Structure formats: C-alpha cells, structure tokens
Structure 1
Amino acid sequence: MIIKQVIQTLEELAPLQYAEDFDNVGLLVGDINTEVTGILVTLDTLENVVDEAIAKKCNLIVSFHPIIFSGLKKITGANYVQRVVIKAIQHNIAIYSMHTALDNSQYGVNAKICEVLNLTNPSILIPQAGNIKKLTTYVPKEKAEALKTALFDAGAGNIGNYSHCSFAIEGDGSYRAKEGANPYLGKIGETHYEKETQINITYAKANESKILSALFNNHPYEEVAYEVHTLENKNQNIGIGMVGTLENEMNETDFFRFLKEKMDVSCIRHSNFLGKNIKKVAVLGGSGAFAISAAKAVNADVFVTSDLKYHQFYEAEDKILLADIGHYETEQFTKNLLVDYLTKKIPNFAVSLSESKTNPIKYF
C-alpha cells in the first residue's frame, strides 16, 4: 500500500474540502507514491513523535494538528517546527494532517466527544456554509435517465436522509455544429433542434470532481452544456461542533464530576452556575469561543469547549453554563478515533496509536 491509498481512505472520513480556508491540511511532508511500512497516529507531530515513528518503523505519521501551519521561509532547525520537518525528511517519514477537515466531519472530533459523554441524537452545531453545489445540464430526452443514474452513482442527489433527488424540465434545445465538430445529432452547418431534458441536481462540494467526471463520461454530446452554482443552503451533516442530550439529566456539580471523569481532566474553568439541571450538551473540540452564541441559540444547558478568554465568559449571560476543559483535553480521543477507523478500513496493517506526550500545558 502506498501513501496515496491511505490518504484516499482518510478522505472518505474527512475530505480536505471540509477544512477551513485558514487551515493547512493534507500531505505536508513526503511523496504520495511511497510504500507505507507503518502508520503512527498522533494529535501533534513533535520531535518525540518522529522518534517514536522511527522506533516503530512507521514511515507515515497521521497527525490531527498540522506541524506546518504558516509558510516556512527557512528550514535551518531554528525552532521546533523546522526541527520536526528536518528529522522527518532525513528519515523518509511522511506527515499528513487532517485538522479542521476532521473537525467538520459528521464522524470526526466532536462526534467522538459525544460518544465519550454518551450523548444521544447528536447533530451539527454550526452547519458549514458553501458546501452544497447545484449542477444544471441539458441532455437529449432519451438519455436523461441514464445520465441521472450515473450522477447518482457518483454521489449526487443526496439531501439529508433522502437519495436520488433531482428535478427535470423538458424543452427544446438548439445548436449548429461548426466545421471540425463531431455532433452526436444533427449535421455540420445546419441548426439542429432537439427535445432535451434539463437536469437539476445537488451534491456536496467534496464530490465535485467525481460528479463532473460522471457528467462528461456519460453525456452523449461532444460539448457538454452545464452550469455549477454554490448554494446558500447549509449541509446539516457537515460542520463544526455538535449538540446532543444526556440520557439522564443531572445537576451542574454532578455533571462536572461526570465530565472530569469521562474526559480525563483535572480541572474545569467555567462561568457562573445557574442552578438548573444539565440535559442538552453542546461540544466543540479545540478553541470554541466563536460558537458560544450558537450553543445558546440551540438552548444548550452547557457548552463544553476550550481556550475561552476572560471576557468571553461574560457571553454566557446567565443563559448557558460554559465549561473550558482544555484544548488538548477536548481533542485527546481524536487519535483513538483515527486508529479505530484505519484499523477497520485497512485490516492486517500496522497502525499504531502514539504513546508520546504532546500536551504543552501542565497543571500544578
């Protein structure tokens, strides 16, 4: 198996198109055509993680956080980022990062938190905008069903719990083939009129290359007339954060004890207790201050996240309990998620969970 095949498997879980624009995801170091000897999964790629990969004979590190976040102008070993890159290259170790692509996945970081907290009926807290595309094309009437089937097979036409969704309009199409053309119907130099079907179908942005390939490979015309638009509609299955419910509600103190035990944290920074029971729980792994208003909007009783600043705790406004349990702590189980996923998808292959400590924050 080569690195490219592992990447294709990972992108079934979290397509890179899901990542935020500011992020740096994908293969950061290495050659996609390299044969994989073993995979080491980690939250962060530090020097001790590269050393662990060397010891375990793993030449591919799958990391949640990207070690290269902004551009490198020099690689001299002057800081920890450069030293990691140098060591990885010296030992032919590739580094692949998923970060916000996995954050926005329906089965990613926040789904794992929901699983650890035993939350039921989880749903996306902030659905991602600009993720749904609409394809409009025109095809001879007798070829319409075959083309729709090919587009459905490529992943188009899925809306929530429904598949094979489309809309069609019949009308008259016209064209005149010029010299050098090879028209499917009609003759060179003559205007041809054809009973055509206009097909309208939506698809997720991550599937665009497959959808367009299916269009071009199955459309009978030499020149395919089509339009692609980005819709304002939000995909309810792709986005950041999640919200779910506890099987049994509990008071705030008991919930915090439960939270500390399940998420293996030693302390919780929080806003004022409100004196009400906790039932509906919003979660967002990593820095989640930007989602406080979204958590309030869905009437969550508590919002579990990290990296809240002093003044951001005021945003609770006695409407929600804010719980900051630490950046590493909210994301720590992500590597378990990835190991389980890869082990299931690539059985009988060396996939290791990193044992290296990478949390930079200590508690006294």
Structure 2
Amino acid sequence: MKIKDIINVLENAAPPALQDSYDNAGLITGDERQYCTGVLCSLDATEAVVDEAIERKCNLIVAHHPVVFKGLKRITGKTYVERTIIKAIKNEIAIYAIHTNLDNIIAGVNGRMADRLGLINRAILQPKALTLKKLYTFVPVEQAENLRTALFHAGAGHIGNYSQCSFNSEGTGTFKGEAGTHPFAGVTGELHFEKEVKIEVIFPAWIEQKLVQALKAAHPYEEVAYDVVQLENTHQHTGAGLTGLLPQPMEEKEFLGFLKESFQLRLIRHTRLTGSPIQKVALCGGAGSFLISNALHANADIFISADIKYHEFFDADSRMVIADIGHFESEQYTVDLLHDILLEKFPTFAVLKTAVNTNPVFYYA
C-alpha cells in the first residue's frame, strides 16, 4: 500500500475542495508514491509526534491541523514548525493535514462532537456556498436508463437524504455527421432526427471531473452534448458548525455538568445563564466565534465552541448561552474519527492513534 492510497481514502471522506480559502490542508511533506509502513493519527504534527512516528515505525502522520499554516521563507530550525519539518524530512516521514475540509462535512469534527452529546436531528449551521452544480445531457431514449445509472454510480443525484434524483424530459435532437465520423444513429453526411431524453442531475462540485468521465464512458455518442452550471443552492451536508437536539431538555447547570463530563473538561468558560432549559445545541470544533450569529438565528439554546474572545461573549445578548470548552478539548475526538475512517477501509493495516497529548494549554488550579 502506498501513501497515496491512504490519502485517497481521506479525500473521499473529506474532499480537499471543501477546505476554506485560508487553509493549507493536504500533503505537507513526503512523497505520496512511497509505500506506507504505518499511519499515526494526531490532532497536531509536532516534534514529539514525529518522534513517536519514528519509534512506532509509521512513515505517515495524518494530522487535523496543518503544521505549516503560513508560508515559510526559511527552514533553519528556529521554530517548532521548522524543527518538525526538518525532522520529518530527515526521517522520510510524510505529514498529511486534513483540516477545514474535515470541519465542513456533517460527519466530520462537529459530527464527532455531536456524538459525544447524543444529538439528534442534525443540520449544518452555516452551509458552504457554491458546492453544488447541475449537469444537463441528452441521450437516445433507449440508452437513458443505463446513462442515469452511470451518473448515479459516479455520485450524482443526491438531494438531502434522497438519492438517484433526476429530471427527465423527452424531445427531438438533430445532428449531421461530417466526413470521418461514425455516428451511433443515422448516416454520415445526412441530417438525422433522434428521439432523446434530456437528463438533469445535481452533483457536488468536487466530483465534476469524475462525473464527466463517467458520462462520456457510458454515453453512446461519439460527441457528447452536455452542460454544467453552477448552482446557488447549498449542499445540506457541507458547511461550518452543526445544530442538533438533545433527546430530552436539560436544565442549564445539568447540561453544563453533562458537557464537562462528556469532554473530560477541567473548566468551561460561559456567559450568564438564561434560566431556560437546553435542548437545541449549536456547536463548532475549534475557533467558532464567527458562527455566533448563525447560532442565534437558529434559535439555539447554547453554542459550544472555543477561542471565544471577551467581547464576543456579549454577542449572546442573553438569548442563549455561549460555552467555550477549549480548542484542543473541542477537537480531541478527531483523532478517533481519523482512526475510524482509515480502519474501516484498512482493517488489517497499522493505523495507530497518537499517545502524545499535543494540547499547548495548561491550567493551574
């Protein structure tokens, strides 16, 4: 198995196209063509994690946070980032980051947080824009079913929890094959009229190349007529943050205790309690203050995230509780998520979880 095989599984789960514009997800160091000796899953890629990879004979680290986030102008070993990169390269260890693309899928980082709280009826808090496209194509009536099947198999036709969605309308297509052509129907040099079906399917933008390849492979015509258009519609399973419901309402202090226990927290920073029970929960792993207004608009009773600044706590405006549980703490179960994604595909391969606690924040009590 090569490193590229591991990367393909990760990118099928969380497509790179879903990462935010500021992000640096992907292969940070290493050669994807190399054979993989083992995978070490971690929240961060640090020197200690590289040492662990060396000790445990893993030549691939899969981390949530990119160790190189901003551009490096020199690599001299003066910072922990530079030292980590130097050590990884010297020991031929690849580092792969799967960051905001893993945040932006409903079963990703936030989904794992929701699992800890047992949330039901989950929905994306801030859907990601420009993630859907539509394909239009035209095919002879008798070949329409086979072509639809190929498009669905390639990943088209999903709307929410419905699959194999398409719209089909019949009409008449015309074409004349010029010299050197071998038309599927009709005669070269003569105008031909063909009963055709116009097929329309929605698809995630990141599978466009795969879908067009499937279209051309399954279509009977030499020259396939098709259109791809960008949609303003949002993909219901991609975007930032998540909302969900507790199976039963809980009093605020009871819920905070439940939250503390579920995430093994030493403390929770939060706004003044509102006096109302908690049932609708909004959350975002990592720094999520940009979603406070979305949580309010969603009528959440509490918003759970991290890295909330002093003045941002005021934005709760006594309409909901804001709870800051810490950056590492909110994303700590991402290691389990990465491990599970890879182990499902490679059950007999060396997919390991780091034993290093990379949390840089300590508390003095």
Q: TM-score range by the shorter chain?
A: over 0.9
- Look up the match of 1:159: 159
* 1:189-208: CA deviation from partner (whole Å, max 9, x where unpaired): 43333222211111122322
Q: What secondary structure, in the 3-state scheme, does the structure 2 residue paired with 1:224 have? A: coil
- Look up the match of 1:355: 355
Deviation at 1:251, TM superposition (A): 2.0
- Look up the match of 1:222: 222
Determine if contact 1:13/1:107 at 8 Å carries over to the other structure.
Answer: no
Q: Take 1:337 and 1:153, find their aligned partners in 2: how far apart are those partners?
A: 26
* 1:53-93: CA deviation from partner (whole Å, max 9, x where unpaired): 00110000010011122333322223222221111111111
Q: Take 1:78 and 1:201, find their aligned partners in 2: how far apart are those partners?
A: 53
The TM-score normalised by the length of structure 1 is: 0.95
Q: What secondary structure, in the 3-state scheme, does the structure 2 residue paired with 1:125 have? A: strand
Q: 1:182 to 1:71 in 2, by over 3 A?
A: farther
- Look up the match of 1:268: 268
* 1:210-233: CA deviation from partner (whole Å, max 9, x where unpaired): 211110101122221111112111
Q: Take 1:106 and 1:2, find their aligned partners in 2: how far apart are those partners?
A: 28
Q: Take 2:150 and 2:247, find their aligned partners in 1: how far apart are those partners?
A: 43
- Greater Cα shift, 12-21 or 145-154: 12-21
Q: What secondary structure, in the 3-state scheme, does the structure 1 residue paired with 2:68 have? A: coil
Q: Take 2:351 and 2:168, find their aligned partners in 1: how far apart are those partners?
A: 47
Q: What secondary structure, in the 3-state scheme, does the structure 1 residue paired with 2:359 have? A: coil
Q: For residues 125-164 of structure 1, what are the structure 2 equivalents within 5 Å?
A: 125-164=125-164
Q: Which amino acid aligns with 2:212?
A: L
- Look up the match of 2:96: 96
Q: Take 2:37 and 2:259, find their aligned partners in 1: how far apart are those partners?
A: 38
Q: Take 2:172 and 2:279, find their aligned partners in 1: how far apart are those partners?
A: 57
Deviation at 1:334, TM superposition (A): 0.6
Q: Take 2:68 and 2:352, find their aligned partners in 1: how far apart are those partners?
A: 22
Q: Which amino acid aligns with 1:354?
A: T
Q: Which amino acid aligns with 1:87?
A: K
Q: Take 1:144 and 1:270, find their aligned partners in 2: how far apart are those partners?
A: 57
Q: Take 1:206 and 1:50, find their aligned partners in 2: how far apart are those partners?
A: 32
- Greater Cα shift, 105-114 or 206-215: 206-215
Deviation at 1:292, TM superposition (A): 0.8
Deviation at 1:309, TM superposition (A): 1.4
Q: Take 2:250 and 2:190, find their aligned partners in 1: how far apart are those partners?
A: 77
Deviation at 1:45, TM superposition (A): 0.3
2:63 paired with 1:63? yes
Determine if contact 1:139/1:198 at 8 Å carries over to the other structure.
Answer: yes
- Look up the match of 2:313: 313
Q: For residues 248-259 of structure 1, what are the structure 2 equivalents within 5 Å?
A: 248-259=248-259
Q: Take 1:207 and 1:331, find their aligned partners in 2: how far apart are those partners?
A: 28
Q: What secondary structure, in the 3-state scheme, does the structure 1 residue paired with 2:237 have? A: strand
- Greater Cα shift, 353-362 or 295-304: 353-362
Q: Which amino acid aligns with 2:166?
A: S
Deviation at 1:184, TM superposition (A): 2.6
- Look up the match of 1:203: 203
| Runs (5+) with no aligned partner, structure 1 | none
2:23 paired with 1:26? no
- Look up the match of 2:7: 7
- Greater Cα shift, 335-344 or 146-155: 335-344
- Look up the match of 1:123: 123
Q: Take 2:173 and 2:235, find their aligned partners in 1: how far apart are those partners?
A: 33
Determine if contact 1:127/1:240 at 8 Å carries over to the other structure.
Answer: yes
Q: Which amino acid aligns with 1:89?
A: I
Q: Which amino acid aligns with 2:314?
A: Y
| Runs (5+) with no aligned partner, structure 2 | none
* Deviation >4 Å, runs of 4+: none
2:331 paired with 1:331? yes
Q: What secondary structure, in the 3-state scheme, does the structure 2 residue paired with 1:235 have? A: coil
- Greater Cα shift, 190-199 or 227-236: 190-199
The TM-score normalised by the length of structure 2 is: 0.95
CA-atom RMSD, angstroms? 1.6
Q: Which amino acid aligns with 2:258?
A: F
- Look up the match of 2:78: 78
Q: Take 1:343 and 1:273, find their aligned partners in 2: how far apart are those partners?
A: 41
Deviation at 1:38, TM superposition (A): 0.8
Q: Take 2:161 and 2:250, find their aligned partners in 1: how far apart are those partners?
A: 32
Q: Take 2:7 and 2:328, find their aligned partners in 1: how far apart are those partners?
A: 24
* 1:288-323: CA deviation from partner (whole Å, max 9, x where unpaired): 111111111221110000111122111111111101
Q: What secondary structure, in the 3-state scheme, does the structure 2 residue paired with 1:12 have? A: helix
